[in-house]
Amino acid sequence: MFAVSATSIDPEDPLSGLTLGDVPDPEVPEGWVRVAVRAASLNHHDLWTLRGVGITPDRLPMILGCDAAGVLPDGTEVVVHAVVGDPRAGRGDETLDPRRSLLSELHQGTLAEYVVVPERNALPKPPELSFEDAACLPTAWLTAYRMLTTKAGLRMGDTVLVQGAGGGVATAAIQLANVLGVRVWATSRSADKRERALELGADAVFEPGARLPERVDAVIETVGAATWSHSLKSLRPGGVVVVSGATTGSNPPADLSRVFFLQLSVIGSTMGTREELAALLDVCVDTGLRPTIADVRPLRDARSAFEQLEAGDHIGKLVLTP
- CATH number of the domain bearing residue 122: 3.90.180.10
Is 141 strand, coil or helix? helix
**Residue 276 falls inside a structural domain:** no
Residue 254, domain CATH: 3.40.50.720
Is 311 strand, coil or helix? helix
The mean predicted confidence, pLDDT, of the chain is 97
Average pLDDT over residues 280-288: 98
Shared domain for 47 and 123, answered yes or no, is yes
Dist CA 210 CA 194 (whole Å): 13
**Residue 77 falls inside a structural domain:** yes
Which one, of 125, 142, 101, 105, lies nearest residue 37 by Cα?
125
**Residue 283 falls inside a structural domain:** no
Dist CA 184 CA 50 (whole Å): 34
Shared domain for 316 and 252, answered yes or no, is no
Residue 314 has pLDDT above 90, yes or no: no
pLDDT in tens, 230-273: 999 999 999 999 999 998 999 999 999 999 999 999 999 999 99
Average pLDDT over residues 133-147: 98
Shared domain for 115 and 225, answered yes or no, is no
Shared domain for 123 and 50, answered yes or no, is yes
Residue 168, domain extent = 141-268
Average pLDDT over residues 97-112: 97
Q: Whole-structure pTM over 0.85, yes or no? A: yes
Shared domain for 121 and 159, answered yes or no, is no
The predicted pLDDT at position 166 comes to 84
- Quote the number of domains for the chain: 2
Dist CA 38 CA 296 (whole Å): 12
**Residue 273 falls inside a structural domain:** no
Please state whether beta strands 317-321 and 293-298 pair in parallel, antiparallel, or not at all (unpaired). Answer: parallel
Shared domain for 231 and 252, answered yes or no, is yes
User: In the 8-state DSSP scheme, what is residue 165?
Assistant: B
**Residue 275 falls inside a structural domain:** no
**Residue 286 falls inside a structural domain:** no
